[in-house]
A = this chain, B = another copy of it.
Amino acid sequence: MALPTHIGFIPDGNRRWAVNRGMGKQDGYAFGIEPGLQLYEQCKAYGIQEVSVYGFTQDNVKRPAEQKHAFSQACVHFAQEVMRRGCALLVVGDEDSEQFPAELRPFRQRQGSGIKVNFLVNYGWKWDLAGMRQGDIRSSDVSRLDMVVRWGGGRRLSGFLPVQSVYADIYVVDDYWPDFKPEHLDQALEWFSRQDRTLGG
Interface residues of A (CB under 8 A from B): 57, 59-60, 62-63, 125, 129-130, 132-133, 135, 154-159, 162-163, 165-171, 195-196, 199-201
Q: How far is the CA of A129 from the CA of B125 in the complex (A)?
A: 13
A-B contact list, 18 entries, CB within 8 Å: A57-B200, A59-B199, A60-B200, A62-B201, A132-B133, A133-B135, A154-B195, A154-B196, A155-B169, A155-B171, A155-B195, A156-B169, A157-B165, A157-B166, A158-B166, A159-B200, A162-B163, A170-B170
- Please pick, from B154, B162, B167, B196, the residue contacting A166 in the complex, using a CB distance under 8 A: B162
Give complex CA distance A71, B97 in Å: 48
A170 and B199 contact, Cβ closer than 8 Å, known pairs A129-B129, A133-B132, A165-B162: no
Q: Is the CB of A170 within 8 A of B155?
A: yes
Instruction: Give Cα A196 to B154, complex, Å.
Output: 8
Could you tell me the distance in whole angstroms from the C-beta of A11 to the nearest C-beta in chain B? 14
Q: Give chain B residues whose Cβ lies under 8 Å from the Cβ of A62.
A: 201
Shortest CB–CB separation between residue A194 and chain B, in angstroms?
10
A91 to chain B, nearest CB (A): 19
Please judge, given known A-B contacts A59-B199, A201-B63, whether A166 and B159 are in contact too, CB under 8 Å. Answer: yes
Residues of B within 8 A of A60 (CB): 200-201
Q: A129-B132, A156-B169, A157-B167 are in contact. List 4 more A-B contacts (CB 8 A).
A: A125-B163, A129-B129, A156-B168, A157-B166
Instruction: Give A125's nearest chain B residue, CB to CB.
Output: B166
By beta carbon, the residue of chain B nearest A58 is B200
- CA A159 to CA B124, docked complex, whole Å: 19
